[in-house]
């Protein structure tokens, strides 16, 4: 089945279109679908403010971040030949949050500065590099997950510590922002802050596609087939870190989208790790925008954080993958 003729990508795009529309409509202020579309392109007073300034930014953020998470997850799973790989499993969102919190609480910058994504990216880069380096050529899945757990825990503790030590009286609210991501109350400024990084991450990750395919047969075979494996690692690690860092900088830490998305699409593309990338990105976008609509519909006082929902759904999924592949966890090199 060639990708061009497969209904997978058009199907996912249609799904994302429908969900995006729903995302513009769903919320406390009742706006109909025709009204939402009209308010988007022309001035309809209050409706336009709600649609353009409240719902459009969160819709765009959910799309972009879901896309880059799905892409990163598929890239890392391909690189490490391991269905449990993901930035969230490697503690990257926590590390990115730690990076961001460090610069904010050191009083260097405000929350809408360009330095923020850079600090978050540095944190994410450190964690992903660390885990990939510890995993090396022949670490088992267990080593990989444990290394990620350690990095994530350390970064989470660092974030809490930095906030506890800060003179800011609103520290507790801030901890919630960084540890549990959300798209609530984001503006177009957040979108513009993240866009360049998400684009860069996309380019890096897609450039890795041909090499990922050869890597399915192991590092030595890939190299003998003419793939520059160190370059491939840099592309994927940098792409995943930049995407995660930029996302966390504007939305806080959101996990497990990248873990789940590739699994949803892999069987449709013949398990080819290169052809998994784009559909996984689209599936990630659909998942995250779906989750962001769901948190608006869950009846509660104030919105449930979208990061909570993705973790609630993602962790059982993670356990399910482990249970299904238990036998391999003992010995399979990553």
Q: How near is the Cβ of 16 to another protein at its closest, in Å?
A: 24
Q: How near is the Cβ of 114 to another protein at its closest, in Å?
A: 37
Q: How near is the Cβ of 207 to another protein at its closest, in Å?
A: 15
Decide whether 54 or 80 has the Cβ nearer to another protein.
80
Other C-beta atoms lying within 10 Å of the C-beta of residue 46: 10
CA atoms within 13 A on the CB side of 22: 19
* Residues from 251 through 270 that contact another protein (CB under 8 A): 266, 270
- Rule CB under 8 A: is residue 333 a binding residue for another protein? yes
CA atoms within 13 A on the CB side of 126: 18
Return the residue of 25, 27, 74, 81 that touches another protein, per CB under 8 A.
Answer: 81
Give the interface segment with another protein, choosing from 21-29, 43-51, 211-219, 241-249 (CB under 8 A).
Answer: 211-219
- Rule CB under 8 A: is residue 221 a binding residue for another protein? yes
Return the residue of 44, 223, 290, 329 that touches another protein, per CB under 8 A.
Answer: 223
Distance CA 139, CA 280 (A): 25
Q: How near is the Cβ of 269 to another protein at its closest, in Å?
A: 9
- Rule CB under 8 A: is residue 224 a binding residue for another protein? yes
Distance CA 88, CA 243 (A): 12
Q: Residues binding another protein: what is the number (CB under 8 A)?
A: 28
Positive or negative CA dihedral for 201, 207, 209, 211? negative
**DSSP label at 266?**
G
Distance CA 60, CA 71 (A): 16
Spatial neighbors of 179 by CB under 8 A, at least 6 apart, are 94, 97, 156, 159, 252, 253, 307
Question: Could you tell me if 179 and 252 are in contact, meaning their C-beta atoms sit under 8 angstroms apart?
Answer: yes
Q: How near is the Cβ of 226 to another protein at its closest, in Å?
A: 3
Q: How near is the Cβ of 137 to another protein at its closest, in Å?
A: 12
Spatial neighbors of 50 by CB under 8 A, at least 6 apart, are 27, 29, 31, 39
From residue 142 to residue 181, the character string flagging contacts with another protein as x (rule: CB under 8 A) and all else as - is: ----------------------------------------
* Residues from 271 through 290 that contact another protein (CB under 8 A): 271-275
Tell me the three state secondary structure of residue 43: coil
Decide whether 40 or 322 has the Cβ nearer to another protein.
322
Q: Which of 126, 110, 72, 88 is nearest to 243 (CA)?
A: 72
Decide whether 77 or 182 has the Cβ nearer to another protein.
77
Decide whether 173 or 224 has the Cβ nearer to another protein.
224
* Residues from 89 through 118 that contact another protein (CB under 8 A): none
Distance CA 58, CA 311 (A): 19
Q: How near is the Cβ of 288 to another protein at its closest, in Å?
A: 25
- Rule CB under 8 A: is residue 220 a binding residue for another protein? yes
Residue 140 pairs in a beta bridge with: 333
- Rule CB under 8 A: is residue 325 a binding residue for another protein? no
Give the interface segment with another protein, choosing from 60-68, 218-226, 253-261, 278-286 (CB under 8 A).
Answer: 218-226
Distance CA 144, CA 311 (A): 19
Q: Which of 236, 258, 260 is nearest to 247 (CA)?
A: 258
Distance CA 268, CA 85 (A): 20
Question: Could you tell me if 73 and 280 are in contact, meaning their C-beta atoms sit under 8 angstroms apart?
Answer: yes
Tell me the three state secondary structure of residue 191: helix
- Rule CB under 8 A: is residue 195 a binding residue for another protein? no
- Rule CB under 8 A: is residue 138 a binding residue for another protein? no
Decide whether 11 or 333 has the Cβ nearer to another protein.
333
Query: Contact residues for another protein (CB under 8 A)?
Result: 2-3, 81-82, 210, 213-218, 220-221, 223-228, 266, 270-275, 332-333
């Amino acid at each position: 089945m060639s990708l061009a003729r497969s209904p997978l990508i058009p199907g996912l795009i249609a799904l994302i279109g429908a969900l995006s529309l729903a995302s513009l409509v769903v919320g406390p202020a009742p706006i109909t679908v025709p009204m939402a579309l009209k308010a988007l392109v022309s001035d309809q007073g209050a409706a336009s403010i709600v649609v353009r300034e409240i719902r459009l930014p969160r819709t765009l953020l959910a799309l972009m971040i879901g896309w880059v998470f799905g892409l990163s997850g598929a890239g890392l799973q391909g690189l490490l030949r391991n269905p449990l790989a993901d930035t969230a499993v490697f503690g990257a969102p926590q590390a990115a949050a730690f990076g961001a919190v460090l610069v904010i609480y050191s009083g260097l910058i405000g929350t809408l500065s360009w330095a923020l994504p850079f600090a978050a990216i540095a944190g994410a880069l450190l964690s992903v590099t660390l885990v990939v380096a510890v995993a090396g050529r022949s670490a088992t899945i267990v080593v990989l997950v444990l290394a990620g757990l350690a990095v994530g825990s350390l970064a989470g503790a660092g974030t809490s510590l930095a906030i506890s030590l800060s003179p800011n009286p609103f520290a507790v609210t801030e901890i919630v922002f960084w540890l549990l991501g959300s798209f609530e109350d984001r503006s177009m400024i957040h979108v513009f802050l993240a866009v360049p990084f998400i684009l860069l991450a996309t380019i890096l990750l897609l450039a890795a596609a041909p090499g990922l395919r050869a890597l399915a047969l192991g590092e030595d075979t890939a190299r003998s087939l003419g793939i520059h494996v160190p370059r491939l690692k840099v592309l994927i690690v940098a792409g995943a870190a930049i995407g995660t860092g930029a996302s966390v900088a504007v939305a806080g830490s959101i996990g497990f989208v990248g873990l789940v998305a590739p699994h949803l699409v892999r069987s449709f593309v013949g398990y080819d790790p290169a052809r998994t990338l784009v559909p996984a990105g689209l599936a990630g976008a659909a998942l995250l925008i779906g989750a962001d609509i769901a948190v608006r519909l869950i009846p509660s006082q104030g919105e449930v954080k979208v990061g909570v929902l993705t973790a609630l759904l993602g962790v059982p999924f993670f356990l399910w993958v482990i249970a299904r592949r238990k036998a391999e966890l003992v010995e399979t090199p990553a």
